[in-house]
Structure 1
Amino acid sequence: MRILLVTDAWAPQVNGVVRTWQRVTAEVRAMGHEVRVVAPDGFRTVPCPTYPEIRLAVFPGRGVRRAFDDFAPDAIHIATEGPLGLAARRLCLKLGLPFTTSYHTKFPEYVSARAPVPVSWGQAAMRWFHAPSAAVLAATPTVRQELEAMGLKNAAAWTRGVDTGLYRPGLDPALDLPGPVFVYVGRVAVEKNIEAFLRLDLPGSKLIVGDGPARARLERTYPGVHFAGMQFGEALARHYAAGDVFVFPSRTDTFGLVMLEAMACGLPVAAYPVAGPLDVVGTSGAGVLDEDLRMAALGALSIPGGRARAHAETFSWEACARQWLAALAPVPGAVHGNAAAAEGLA
């Protein structure tokens, strides 16, 4: 099958969405399918307002149209609601092509955290974007329910996986900090609610692994916290190994891939009982979910690392890829090479 993936989130961005798609496309290609990725690296871009690390494609309509015409896909998936996603959505609707979408980021909440925009406005925008999709893929049952409550009746389940070979117990810690060590890994940005963790009165040390627009301010405000910056691959796994508990303070993530990575390394999770943690950790015993994040962090100290690892092993990237393939909407063969029908679309 020839699959066209359109995503505004791609390397060199570093986040859970990019890691998900890099791994899923690798799995799908290993199964014998052909995947073409339409991403910002193929377009002229500008920095995203308030988040310059993210580059946004400028007027990508013609480039997206060329990708459709040249590749002649059997299925089209639009991963994000940015400029590329909007261009691909418009083209599919013009040509009458079926497509699927995915809901990775709670944009209504994220935008509201950065600007005086009501969450309800963002939800209306999400309804508009995803309603024509054959299926909008949601990472957890909780997020699927939230989408349905938003008015989207086409939500479908799509799980995630973790590399249990890379992320594993027993690695040499990257740092030797006074214990116990409470770790956060991810974007250092306001929507991640990191200060809810940094304000906690906890014994030992706090370790922040990652980068983002809020890092400089947080480093000034919390000089006793160790900020390790962005880490990758084995170095990232060794930073997980430096910790005793993984603290996930976000209330707006749709999944939280870093929780799986931490558990695979033998770290129990402390988090709020919200979408993401409710489904990733749930009642597995691999973490503690509590509205009192301090109590959750202290309670997680008593959880054996082996229990966290065992729960992480129930998640597979192969299963994630196969679920995505099964959800895709076939494009009728008659549209292949249909360049003429796309004339005039930009």
Structure 2
Amino acid sequence: MNVTPLHIALVSETFAPEINGVANTLERLCSGLRARGHRLQLVRPRQAGETHGGDENLLLTRGWPLPGYAGLQWGQSALHKLLRRWQRNRPDVLYIATEGPLGLSALRAARRLGIPVVSGFHTNFQQYSEHYGLSLLSRLLTGYLRWFHNRTRLTLVPSASQRVELQRRGFERLELLARGVDGQLFHPTRRSAELRAAWGLEEDEIAVLHVGRLAAEKNLQLLSRAFRELQRALPQRRLRLVLVGDGPQRAQLQAEHPHALFCGVQRGEALAAHYASGDLFLFPSLSETFGNVVLEALASGLAVVAFDQAAAAQHIRHGHNGGLASPGDEQAFIEAARWLLEDEESLRRVRLNARQHAGRLGWAAIVEQFEAHLLQVLP
């Protein structure tokens, strides 16, 4: 179907090359929409080394550090700047990906100018607050997020479980927009004997991998417990814990696991090689709206163990292409990992099925769905 090209303004307080699921998703959506002939104007905080936007399709604002998240920012309110820009060059539709001061000012400007707005619920900030000693603010934050999203024409959520949870909390006009994965970048052929040798692994050793921010909201105490219990339960299997990423809990984890490998932040082909060079992927987080790393691990041919929610609920069949546990059932999570490691043939079969499933989850269909949602709100 031929679609008249749109002028789309996308507002976000995070964007590539920052490393997080929101930035990765938005980069994919933007490149996909441009490839389909749409004009994209990006509004975001200025990143290190940037001085100005340079053209009409990039508007940079001042940013402020996000407490507890080194390298990420809140965008400063830019109401008058946005009003001037959009009065002169009006977008057809606005997509707001984050609900901070910049996102709020964009919502206010769009409502004043009558520009239709679609919002995205990308991050469970109300849940994160509880992990940083701000539990008293969680209810207030939920109320603000509900108020914010209910003032847009449509809110896109990445998983069915997230939609149910938000509906229960009074969020309206919710539609599903899942995530894709680059199945050429994340692929089992990226497995590297050289990298495994650099990790100090023998051929028969099992690399138990985790990729993500090393922070409180990722439930990493379960990662530690699970790995220790697997070592005790399966002394015949030689296991090595490999963590890719960085964050405030790194020092604590290094003290708890002196023999683990901490690889730091990886990008692009190096990240893909780290995935494919692992064997089992443990993802204990309970705070994800989706969890892009689950798809990246599946596409890389890893057996994934996760809780039955968000991306894992949509894409893992327990015992077929991974292992699932009921949310919060830590013992079931550990038992799922143990089952995968007890039998080499089961592990091999699950890994093959994981890749086969993820190989069908490209970004092209997701971009088309996103385009359809934007068209849906036009007058």
- TM norm structure 2: 0.83
- Give 1:319 deviation, angstroms: 0.8
2:3 is matched with: none
Residue 187 in structure 1 maps to residue 251 in structure 2 = no
In structure 2, what is the equivalent of residue 12 of structure 1? 17
Higher mean alpha-carbon deviation, 275-284 vs 301-310, is at 275-284
- 1:313 Cα deviation after fit: 1.8
- Tell me the amino acid that sits aligned with residue 333 of structure 2: L
SS in structure 2 opposite 1:156? strand
- Count of equivalent residues: 332
Tell me which of 122, 134, 145 is aligned to 1:104. Answer: 122
Report what 1:40 is aligned to.
45
Letter in 2 for 1:220: A
Contact 1:197 1:293 in 2 (8 A): no
Shift of 1:275: 3.2
Instruction: Tell me the secondary structure at the aligned position of residue 19 of structure 1.
Output: helix
CA distance in 2, matches of 1:193, 1:11: 25
Matched, 1:133 2:152: yes
Please give the alpha-carbon distance, in whole angstroms, between the structure 2 residues aligned to 1:136 and 1:74: 17
- 1:1-346 correspondence runs (5 A): 1-41=6-46, 42-118=60-136, 119-173=138-192, 174-176=195-197, 177=201, 179-200=205-226, 201=228, 202-203=230-231, 204-282=239-317, 285-290=320-325, 291=329, 292-301=332-341, 302-303=346-347, 304=349, 305-328=351-374, 330=377
Taking the aligned partners of 2:25 and 2:95, their CA distance within structure 1 comes to: 14
- Specify which structure has the bigger relative contact order, considering alpha-carbon pairs within 8 angstroms and separated by 6 or more residues: 1
In 1, Cα distance between equivalents of 2:311 and 2:273: 24
Counterpart-to-counterpart distance in 2, 1:167 and 1:205: 22
Superposed displacement of residue 254, structure 1: 0.9
Deviations 1:281-322 (A, max 9, x none): 245821101222221222234342210001112312011111
Aligned to 1:341: none
Aligned counterparts of 2:218 and 2:89: Cα–Cα separation in 1:
37
Counterpart amino acid of residue 112 in structure 1:
E
Would you say the 8 A contact 1:3–1:35 is kept in 2?
A: yes
Letter in 1 for 2:337: A
- Show CA shifts across 1:33-80 (max 9, x none): 111111112122221112231122233323333442344211111011
Pick closer, same or farther for the CA change 1:216–1:161 going to 2, 3 Å.
same
Report the 3-state secondary structure (helix = DSSP H, G, I; strand = E; otherwise coil) of the residue aligned with 1:108.
helix
SS at match of 1:55: strand
Tell me which amino acid in the other structure corresponds to 1:316.
G
Tell me if the contact between 2:291 and 2:310 (Cα under 8 Å) persists in the aligned partners.
no
User: Greater CA deviation, 274-283 or 202-211?
Assistant: 274-283
CA-atom RMSD in angstroms: 1.8
Which residue type is aligned with residue 334 of structure 2? R
Assess if the C-alpha contact under 8 Å between 2:208 and 2:241 holds in 1.
yes
| 118-127 or 223-232, larger mean C-alpha shift | 118-127
Query: Is 103-112 or 289-298 further displaced after alignment?
Result: 289-298
Identity of aligned residues (%): 36
Q: 1:272·1:289 contact (CA, 8 Å) conserved in 2?
A: yes
How many Å separate the matches in 1 of 2:111 and 2:178? Answer: 27
Deviates more, 1:65-74 or 1:252-261: 65-74
Would you say the 8 A contact 2:10–2:42 is kept in 1? Answer: yes
Give the 3-state SS of the residue equivalent to 2:13 in structure 1.
Answer: coil
| Partners of 1:214 and 1:72 in 2: CA distance | 44
CA distance in structure 2 between the aligned counterparts of 1:253 and 1:284, rounded to whole angstroms:
22
Scaled by the length of structure 1, the TM-score of the pair is: 0.90
Residue ranges of structure 2 left out of the alignment (5+ in a row): 1-5, 47-59, 232-238
Q: Is the 8 A contact 1:3 1:33 kept in 2?
A: yes
Indicate conservation of the 8 Å contact 2:43/2:61, yes or no: no
Which amino acid is 1:102 matched to?
G
Aligned equivalents of 1:71, 1:245: Cα separation in 2? 50
**What 5-or-longer segments of structure 1 have no aligned partner?**
333-346
Name the stretch that deviates more: 278-287 or 41-50.
Answer: 278-287
The residue identity in structure 2 corresponding to 1:253 is E
Cα pair distance change 1:67/1:299, threshold 3 Å = farther
Q: Deviation per CA, 1:133-156, whole angstroms, max 9, x where unpaired?
A: 111101111111111111112110
Residues 47 and 56 in structure 1, CA contact (< 8 A), matched pair in contact too:
yes
Distance apart, 1:82 and its partner CA: 1.4
Structure 2 residue matching 1:151: 3-state secondary structure: coil
